[in-house]
Amino acid sequence: MSEITFPPAEPKNNNYQPYYRRLVALKNHGNYKDWPQEVKDGIDHVIKLIDARENYVEDVCSKPGKVLAEISEFTETTDWAELHKSGKTTCLLPSSMLTGHVEGLFLKFLVSMQQAKYVLDIGMFTGYSALSMAEALPADGKVFTCDREQYLADLNRKVFDSSPHGKKIEIRLGDVGDTLKALAKDGVQIDFVFLDAGAEKYGEYFDFLLDKNILAPRGTIAVDNTLWFGRSYLEHENHRAKFNKKITEDRRVQQVLLPVRDGIMLIRRTGDVDGQV
Ligand SMILES: C[S@@+](CC[C@H](N)C(=O)[O-])C[C@H]1O[C@@H](n2cnc3c(N)ncnc32)[C@H](O)[C@@H]1O
């Protein structure tokens, strides 16, 4: 059998699974029209099954509130390429970066179950994860959300202020590394961290969070895109795969990788008693 590789085609959808992307890519194969009808029907059937599963999950999950729904709508309808071209954003920000409905809700549940008071959202984009997590906090709780794009900071402040949970959100404009240093300097302790920006430096950020005790003793770090469209397990020399390996070898923590969306890894310090988390 030939080696399994990362699917080359970039289908116009936000499904992160490499098998789905491979199937969609097959439909663009040069000789596709000449393939047996039974094979083509089979491919269509599997694509429909996967779509139906995704849609079912979305339908069954609790619906997002008004402001979260507006954030999704805005993110998907904005011309991000034009904003970048006109110099409003320093980087091209694809709408597919949005955490969105199911993952946002999952984060909200985790923050609530953690009974967190202080949350750190690394990578704000249009604010979906920040506001989702703020919804789970008590009135005196706080989400520090960090991004380097001035455009997003200006935009999101207005959006957050239109939500009853917006006053719990503090935007930290600047590089992730600088934000982490400032939090350490201020002696802030965080109960729940969502790591979703600057993937090349995840290992550095992770060490800093633990070494400087920014992460509260019973706190949790949730790391996004740990499967990275399949690249983490189909290739091994990329930064995400290396980060995952680093975590598996770190005796200070225990971790669980959940195949939600593009893979969310939950990390907690290992307890004092053997096996405790
Ligand atoms: C994947 S998006 C975050 C998505 C967001 N969590 C959500 O719920 O939709 C990553 C964001 O991080 C920002 N970013 C990337 N690298 C950064 C860095 N080194 N420092 C600060 N922000 C960064 C980008 O501008 C982008 O808005």
Distance 32 CA to ligand 1 centre (A): 38
Indicate the range of 44-53, 103-112, 155-164, 188-197 predicted with least confidence.
44-53
> How many C-beta atoms surround the C-beta of residue 34 within 10 A?
8
Nearest to 225 by CA among 254, 203, 197, 253: 197
The per-residue pLDDT for 271 is 85
What is each CA distance from 165 to 124, 127, 180, 196, 260, in whole angstroms? 16, 12, 24, 21, 25
Instruction: Label residue 236 by pLDDT band (50, 70, 90).
Output: confident
The per-residue pLDDT for 157 is 98
The per-residue pLDDT for 273 is 83
Tokens of 266: 């939950």
Nearest to 190 by CA among 243, 144, 147: 144
Interatomic CA distance for residues 70 and 75, integer angstroms: 8
CB 196 within 8 A of CB 123: yes
Closest ligand 1 atom number to CA of residue 121:
6
Nearest to 145 by CA among 7, 276, 160, 206: 160
- Taking CA atoms only, the protein residue closest to ligand 1 atom 11 is 123
Distance 28 CA to ligand 1 centre (A): 32
pLDDT at residue 276 tops 90? no
Q: Is 128 in the pocket of ligand 1 (CB under 6 A)?
A: yes
The per-residue pLDDT for 13 is 56
pLDDT at residue 12 tops 50? no
* pLDDT tens digits, one per residue of 180-225: 999 999 999 999 999 999 999 999 999 999 999 999 999 999 999 9
Average pLDDT over residues 166-188: 97
Distance 24 CA to ligand 1 centre (A): 28
pLDDT at residue 42 tops 50? yes
Interatomic CA distance for residues 71 and 99, integer angstroms: 11
The per-residue pLDDT for 9 is 46
Q: Is 198 in the pocket of ligand 1 (CB under 6 A)?
A: yes
- Residue 254, strand partner residues: 268
Calculate the average pLDDT of the chain: 93
Alpha helices in the chain (DSSP H): 18-27, 37-60, 66-77, 80-85, 100-114, 128-134, 150-161, 176-185, 202-211, 231-234, 239-248
Looking at the chain, the whole-number percentage of residues with pLDDT higher than 70 is: 95
